Copies of this chain bind each other. A is one copy, B any other.
């Protein structure tokens, strides 16, 4: 009896994240519209009605999916940046490492593709994501770039734009995996991809003395 109650309690507490996990994988796989709530429920092992005990609507489920996954990682990265000492490029590497471990290698990897696909239909969620993930992530990269420029480690460039160029391949890596990546026959090698991205940045962002070589 008691055990049952406990189990049930544990069950109940876990439900929302079980459901949003199920939703995430289906949303990522088929897109938001093409995902049926019945499938979400059955993947989570509950009935369709139960879903509505935890989420008011399909859109609310979408919001939960987006909000749950990535925020903690952003906060972690902010902490990493705050206590970083060493070169600015090393900071970029650390941020990327953490992101990769916490997002790229987990089920949350699908979120960027999902958010990109649905941003126009859910402006409110898009704004939330933009402000809490994108902006804060850009701020971290931006601070690292400015720090490096100030130290002469990186040459001077338009910071706001450089942020985007630096981030783009990382987002694209995940987006690709959940979209056209299905079509390619060869195995992709994300480790190598990220390493080459960093290599190019290492040279490409380098201090102004390099610039004269152009």
Contacts and interface: CB of A to CB of B under 8 A. Distances in A.
Contacts of A173: 164, 168
Nearest to A160: B186
A206 interface: yes
A196 B211 CA distance: 13
Interface string A171-214: 11101101110111010110011001101111111100011011
B180 A129 contact: yes
Given A196-B162, A197-B165, A205-B200, A31 B117 contact: yes
Contacts of A33: 31-34
Interface of A: 29-34, 113, 115-121, 123, 126-127, 129-131, 134, 157-158, 160-162, 164-165, 168-169, 171-173, 175-176, 178-180, 182-184, 186, 188-189, 192-193, 196-197, 199-206, 210-211, 213-214
A214 B203 contact: yes
Nearest to A205: B200
B121 A30 contact: yes
A178 B120 contact: yes
B201 A200 contact: yes
B175 A127 contact: no
Contacts of A176: 116, 164, 168
20 contacts: A30-B120, A115-B179, A116-B175, A116-B176, A116-B179, A119-B183, A130-B180, A130-B183, A134-B180, A164-B193, A165-B196, A165-B197, A165-B200, A168-B168, A168-B176, A169-B169, A175-B175, A200-B205, A203-B205, A206-B213
A190 to B, nearest CB: 9
Sorted nearest first, the 7 A-B pairs with minimum C-beta distance are: A204-B204, A200-B204, A33-B33, A117-B117, A130-B183, A168-B172, A168-B169
Contacts of A183: 119, 123, 126-127, 130-131, 134
